[in-house]
Structure 1
Amino acid sequence: MKQITAMDDMPLAHLRCVIAKRLRSLDQEDALGADNRATVQLDQQSVGRLSRMDALQAQAMAKAHHARHAAERQRLMRALARMDEGEFGYCVDCGDSIAPARLDLDPAAPLCISCARG
């Protein structure tokens, strides 16, 4: 692929900072939610059946939230890798330029709008 030309108007440094900030935010949110993902104690002496069910449901939701964060973290890391390789700003499917407005909205967007629509 050719070097970035469509991204000349939009500073990559700004997008790199946006991505780094979002990665830090994900790390902080995951650290706060670590207790909710922990093993639920099933001691009937300390909590009732409904409280255990609530705890299990909260644990499942925390794990799902953590999985979404992991997927977003991977998208962001791939965007940083594309920046380092000089391929950022181009669709990974067709190779066309991704609109700067789309990247401003989601710097990790790997597809142009045409490919994203299918």
Structure 2
Amino acid sequence: MDEQRLTEFRQRIEALLAELQDEDARGKSGQATVELDQQAVGRLSRMDALQNQAMANAGHARRHAQRTRLRAALARIDEGEFGYCEDCGDEIGRGRLELDPAATRCISCANG
């Protein structure tokens, strides 16, 4: 893969990381502890708040995992390994990398 294409992928990955950071900042309030005061919140409202909190926590975990994958992709760019399948060593298709720049396996190896 040529340097220009690697630079484009690096910029895209960095932009995705910035988006994830923004999403985390917006989702902070949803992860807050739900109050146990039954007088302030009815039982059903509290259950709804707990469900919303669980969804916010799951979203945070998903973003954390995606951030980890994207940082690993940046490390592969630095090491000259970006765009090559970690299983067979062949090049990962350009379309696959454009869809998911953190992909580590070619379509053949990913399908098993």
TM class, shorter-length? over 0.9
**How many positions carry a matched residue from both structures?**
112
- How has the CA–CA distance of structure 1 residues 104 and 65 changed in structure 2, closer, same or farther, with 3 Å as cutoff? same
User: Where does structure 1 differ by over 4 angstroms across 4 or more consecutive aligned residues?
Assistant: none
> How far did 1:102 drift?
1.2
What is the aligned counterpart of 1:29 among 23, 26, 31?
Answer: 23
Instruction: Determine the structure 2 residue equivalent to 1:100.
Output: 94
Do the aligned partners of 1:10 and 1:100 also contact (CA within 8 Å) in 2?
no
TM-score, length of structure 2 as denominator length: 0.95
Q: TM-score, normalised by structure 1?
A: 0.91
Q: Gaps spanning 5+ residues in structure 1: where?
A: 1-6
1:41 equivalent in alignment to 2:35: yes
**Amino acid of the structure 2 residue aligned with 1:62:** A
Higher relative contact order (CA 8 A, sep 6+): 1
SS state at 1:16 partner? helix
Q: Where does residue 52 of structure 2 map in the other structure?
A: 58
* Matched-pair contact (CA < 8 Å) for 1:98–1:111: yes
CA distance in 1 between counterparts of 2:51 and 2:99 reads 33
How far, CA to CA, are the matches of 2:55 and 2:99 in structure 1?
A: 27
Unmatched segments (≥5 aa) in structure 2:
none
The residue identity in structure 2 corresponding to 1:76 is L
Q: Over aligned residues, Cα RMSD in angstroms?
A: 1.2
State the partner residue of 1:79. Answer: 73
Q: CA separation in 2, counterparts of 1:24 and 1:17?
A: 11
